[in-house]
A and B are shown apart, each in its own frame.
Chain A
Amino acid sequence: AQSVTQLGSHVSVSEGALVLLRCNYSSSVPPYLFWYVQYPNQGLQLLLKYTSAATLVKGINGFEAEFKKSETSFHLTKPSAHMSDAAEYFCAVSSFSGNTPLVFGKGTRLSVIA
């Protein structure tokens, strides 16, 4: 069975500060890993996806994530937070075969303070 744990249901950063959202996964098979963002009253938008091609994955809006197998982690970072980054972020895992449904973490709400 696969699972995802997102540490911190709410993270608050100052504008211009580093954003770090934590995600640890559990999977008995090689995983696909994802980060999604959800703005209020909207659906989810894919930020980035790990498919084993490279451990450092660059996504949209300046976000990136690093896959660390030894730590079973896939933390999301952005060097400098913008007010527009305020949203809810979800980490998700699927099996490498791609045939299992996405399993999502509980989400982390990011607040950006001016």
Chain B
Amino acid sequence: KAGVTQTPRYLIKTRGQQVTLSCSPISGHRSVSWYQQTPGQGLQFLFEYFSETQRNKGNFPGRFSGRQFSNSRSEMNVSTLELGDSALYLCASSLAVGQGSYEQYFGPGTRLTVT
């Protein structure tokens, strides 16, 4: 069974631009979560989607948004990029909602660099 895939793997953007990252979950998984990983702040939860609905949201500004499609694929968008948005963005999928109840499988991440 194919794992979680994230595209692109690497991305370089300029301040003020916007970016869209994509995540394809494991087949049959309906929940997708997004995390931001930085050396300073570590792993921080962004949001979780299940059946096209946002179920949980972390403490990030409104510039960070996401969505989930009917095939469970998910995208996250960051508008008006800032230097501090440089990070590894990780996507994780699980069978159902509830990050404690269901094992999450992580993708390799998208490395975003903002210059």
B56 in the interface (beta carbon within 8 A):
yes
* Docked-complex contact A106 and B106, CB < 8 angstroms: no
User: 0/1 per residue, B66-98, Cβ < 8 Å to A?
Assistant: 000000000000000000000000101000011
Q: In the complex, how many angstroms separate the beta carbon of A35 from the nearest chain B beta carbon?
A: 13
* Docked-complex contact A100 and B99, CB < 8 angstroms: yes
A94 in the interface (beta carbon within 8 A):
yes
A11 in the interface (beta carbon within 8 A):
no
CA distance A95 to B101 in the complex (A): 9
Contacts of B103 in A (CB 8 A): 46, 49
Q: In the complex, how many angstroms separate the beta carbon of A67 from the nearest chain B beta carbon?
A: 14
* Candidates B43, B102, B108; contact of A104 at CB < 8 Å: B43
* Candidates B33, B58, B101, B108; contact of A42 at CB < 8 Å: B108
CA distance A1 to B102 in the complex (A): 21
* Docked-complex contact B42 and A95, CB < 8 angstroms: no
Contacts of A43 in B (CB 8 A): 4, 90, 92, 106-109
Which of B33, B101, B105 gathers the greatest number of chain A CB atoms within 10 Å?
Answer: B101
B100 in the interface (beta carbon within 8 A):
yes
Contacts of B99 in A (CB 8 A): 94, 98, 100-102
* Docked-complex contact B100 and A98, CB < 8 angstroms: yes
A:1-52 near B, CB below 8 Å: 31-32, 36, 41-46, 49
* Docked-complex contact A97 and B106, CB < 8 angstroms: no
The 3 A-B residue pairs whose C-beta atoms are closest, nearest first, are A94-B100, A43-B106, A98-B101
Binding site for A on B (CB under 8 A): 4, 33, 42-45, 48, 56, 58, 90, 92, 97-109
Q: What are 6 sample pairs from A and B whose C-beta atoms fall under 8 A apart?
A: A31-B100, A32-B101, A44-B92, A46-B104, A94-B100, A104-B44
Binding site for B on A (CB under 8 A): 31-32, 36, 41-46, 49, 90, 94-107
